[in-house]
Chains A and B, each alone.
Chain A
Amino acid sequence: MLYVHKPMHIPDGFLSVIVSIVFWLISVIVIGVALRKTRSELVDREVPLMGVLAAAIFAGQMLNFSVTGGTSGHFLGAALATILLGHWPAVLVMTSVVSVQALLFQDGGILALGANIFNMAIIGVFVAYAVYTLIQRLLKGQAWGIFVAGFVSAWLSILLASMSCALQLAVSGTSPANIAIPAMGAIHALIGIGEGLITASALIFIYNTRKDLLKLGETKLLSNKTILISGSLIALILAVLSPLASSYPDGLERVAEEYGFIKHAQAALFNIFSDYTMPGISNPALATIAAGVLGTIIVFGVTYGVARTEKKNTQELTKR
């Protein structure tokens, strides 16, 4: 089987219904705006361009390179799509990719699709847009600035998308914030390096062959202030919220309570957050260490699992 399941797609059953519905609503609104904007920009070229490029991102996710013993660098594509196409088309392309992955390959749930679209097609794209534009401005159009901006924006878009994923799991009461956020962050800080390297090298290749495409992206990118600001805000909020939530998980519990997430769930279940010393260990320092060890085991478990499937996949590929 060619298709590899990815660690950031949330399956059904892991998010609470309210979280799923809230993120469906947000995603539907953003996709609606994206459809209108690309329609006015591309007129009748929209369907073929978006469709073929979505297929290319989907297939491009098969391109990987070995890092060490079985682990491999991986490509998600949100940042590259944003840099080359502009943010609204990139939202559509990534939404198509994530939707088809859920509908055809059960990678990510159907009820959870709204949240997955939000993480990968909205957070991923907006953050990449904001970071790329800001760095480009700071470096004042230096040629090498494109690659630095490409690397950093790709890395951050992966990292922040995974943070948003961890926060959704934490608010749903599936994963304690103080374990989910560091674990997800650590995995994706590594995955993001592969993404950044691939994105920057793809930009170098395109810079050498079709400079005009990058110029086109530049003017398009530099024009939209609202997206720039909202993208930076998202990045900032996630960057501040994630460590905060992971060190004060009770705060998240309070938020959950206030918004009535608790109503249908058993109240006791949300006590998960209130008592975050490891049960059975009375010394808080020891408990933190134990939580850290548990987090590390999870990190290595997940990465090892991913690596194993990847390795098998590449072996099958080469055998074909």
Chain B
Amino acid sequence: MLELYQHHYSILHRLDARVKVIFTLAFILSLSLTPPGAWPAYILFFTVILSAVQLSRLGVGFVLTRALLAVPFMLSALPLIFTGPPPLFSIALFGEIQINLSSIGTIRFASIGLKSWMSVQAAILLAATTRFPDMLVALKQLKIPRIFVAIIGLMWRYLLVIVEEVTRMLRARSSRSAVLPGSRHSGGTLFWRGRVTGGMVGSLFLRSLERSDRVYAAMLSRGYNGEPPVFNSASLSARDRKTLILGIATLIILMLLGLITGG
């Protein structure tokens, strides 16, 4: 499984990709602007994203658990709990030993965790309900440089081909340097293993360079002149525009609520 997109018939799948891209960005931005500790606002933000998940028919469990992928990064914010400003409260561990925790630091840590969890949910919704080509068209219509969108599009198209090539290389390597029973790794010394992997990377690079030559020749033979084809960008329908304005207004209200109640 390389792609997140899941085909379902839902309102979110049918929605214009531009609306989804803008709304995702607006959601993450307004959530980031909400101060730490604004729990009521967080609950409402969570309601917004949870209802969107419901609408998408992706399955609440799937989205909520996959969104936990940013959890390891929480380690970087963990020191906040101990180094945050006073007031401190202490917890007795065993009798004499006490650790002091900063309440503000703890609130901030929890807020970062919740914010990142919800932001990842929004990003998952976008990727799982929008086909990548549709997203590319949307990016192009949203004035991202056409050449850059074309590069990303071509990259996406060849991703699976090259991933398969890499998988074949890995299989070839493990078939030639099998793991002995009792040994933790295959092959020779650490340096040797590093060199073999480097050789694989080098050979992948050469193969890809040659592949890009063939792709270029094929593109030329089909009349490519250096400019990716232009999509006529239809403007958003009145209904899409209404959805977008309504959605962003909701987010702004939630953010203001957060500014009032937070911290």
Q: Which residues of A are at the interface with B, using a C-beta cutoff of 8 A? A: 1-3, 5, 7, 10-17, 20, 31-32, 35, 39, 43-56, 58-60, 62-69, 73, 75, 80, 84, 92, 95-97, 99-100, 102-107, 109-111, 169, 173-176, 179-180, 183-184, 194, 197-206, 209-210, 213, 264-266, 268-269, 271-272, 275-276, 278-280, 294, 298, 301-302, 305-306, 317-318, 320
**In the complex, what distance in Å separates the CA atom of A291 from the CA atom of B52?**
42
Please state if B208 and A53 are interface contacts (CB–CB under 8 Å): yes
* Contact indicator B162/A109 (Cβ below 8 Å): no
Which residues of B (140-157) have their CB < 8 Å from a CB of A? 145, 147-148, 150-157
Asked if A49 contacts B216 (CB within 8 A), the reply is: yes
Residue from A14, A65, A92, A106 in contact with B151 in the complex, judged by beta carbons closer than 8 Å? A92
CA distance A95 to B126 in the complex (A): 20
How far does the alpha carbon of A97 sit from the alpha carbon of B152 in the complex, in Å?
8
Q: Do B158 and A12 have beta carbons less than 8 Å apart?
A: no
Task: Kindly identify, within residues 78 to 133 of chain B, every residue whose CB is under 8 Å from any CB belonging to chain A.
Answer: 78-80, 82-86, 88, 90, 98-100, 102, 104-105, 108, 112-120, 123-124, 126-127, 132
Would you give the shortest CB distance from B18 to chain A, in whole angstroms? 14
Q: Is A14 a contact of B174 with CB atoms below 8 Å?
A: no
What is the CA–CA distance of A1 and B118 in the complex, to the nearest angstrom? 22
In the bound complex, do residue A67 and residue B190 qualify as a contact, i.e. CB atoms below 8 Å apart?
yes
Tell whether, in the assembled complex, residue A269 and residue B104 are in contact, meaning their CB atoms are under 8 Å apart. yes
- Which of these, B108, B127, B166, B212, contacts A269 with CB under 8 Å? B108
Known contacts A5-B69, A13-B116, A279-B88, A47 near B154 by CB under 8 Å:
yes
**A305 / chain B contacts, CB cutoff of 8 Å:** 72, 75
Most buried by A among B117, B162, B207: B162
Residues of A near B204 (CB, < 8 A) are: 56, 59-60, 63
Q: How far is the CB of B35 from the nearest CB of chain A, in Å?
A: 7
Residues of A within 8 A of B1 (CB): 1-2
> Across the interface, which residues of B come within 8 angstroms of A199, CB to CB?
198, 201
| Complex contact A75–B201 (CB within 8 A) | yes
Which B residues from 151 to 188 make CB contacts under 8 A with A? Answer: 151-159, 161-163, 165-167, 169-170, 174, 184-187
Residues of B within 8 A of A59 (CB): 159, 162-163, 165-166, 204
A212–chain B nearest beta-carbon distance, Å? 11
User: A179 — nearest CB in chain B belongs to which residue?
Assistant: B79
A–B Cβ pairs within 8 angstroms, 24 of them: A7-B72, A12-B116, A13-B116, A44-B224, A47-B147, A50-B154, A54-B151, A54-B155, A55-B208, A56-B204, A56-B207, A63-B197, A65-B196, A73-B193, A110-B24, A174-B80, A176-B79, A197-B191, A197-B194, A201-B197, A204-B198, A269-B104, A279-B86, A280-B99
Q: Report the Cα distance A11→B206, complex, angstroms.
A: 33
Is B70 engaged at the interface, CB distance under 8 Å to the other chain? yes
Contacts of A66 in B (CB 8 A): 184-186, 193
Which of B80, B148, B187, B205 meets A206, CB within 8 Å? B205
Q: Which residue of A lies closest to B220 (CB)?
A: A44
> Is B197 a contact of A198 with CB atoms below 8 Å?
yes
Interface string of B193-219 (1 = CB under 8 A from A): 111111111111111110110011001
A60-B201, A75-B201, A266-B35 are known; give 16 further A-B pairs, CB within 8 A: A11-B119, A12-B119, A13-B32, A13-B118, A31-B148, A35-B148, A47-B228, A55-B154, A55-B159, A95-B148, A102-B123, A104-B132, A110-B25, A176-B83, A206-B206, A278-B82
- State the CA gap A35–B145 with chains docked (Å): 9
- Name the B residues within 8 Å of A31 (CB-CB): 145, 148
From known contacts A48-B154, A268-B85, A275-B85, infer whether A320 and B104 are also in contact, taking CB-CB under 8 Å: no
Interchain CB contact under 8 A, A65 and B201? no
Q: What total of chain B residues lie within 8 Å of the partner, measured CB to CB?
A: 111
With beta carbons under 8 angstroms apart, the residue of B85, B118, B199, B212 that contacts A52 is B212
Check A100–B155 contact: CB distance below 8 A.
yes
Q: Does B263 contact A (CB under 8 A)?
A: yes
- Name the residue of chain A whose CB is nearest to the CB of B1: A1
Check if A39 sits within 8 Å of B147, measured CB to CB.
yes
Find out whether the CB atom of A202 lies under 8 angstroms from the CB atom of B205.
yes
The 5 A-B residue pairs with the shortest CB-CB distance in the complex, in nearest-first order:
A201-B198, A44-B226, A51-B154, A13-B116, A205-B202
A11 near B116: Cβ-Cβ < 8 Å: yes
B145 touches A205 (CB 8 A): no
Residue in B161, B197, B216 whose CB lies within 8 Å of A48:
B216
Given contacts A13-B119, A62-B170, contact A280 B100 (CB under 8 A): yes
For A103, list chain B residues within 8 Å (CB).
123, 126-127, 132, 135
Contacts of A204 in B (CB 8 A): 195, 198-199, 202
B205 near A56 (CB under 8 angstroms)? yes
Query: Given the complex, which residues of A lie within 8 Å of B166, measured CB to CB?
Result: 59-60, 62-63
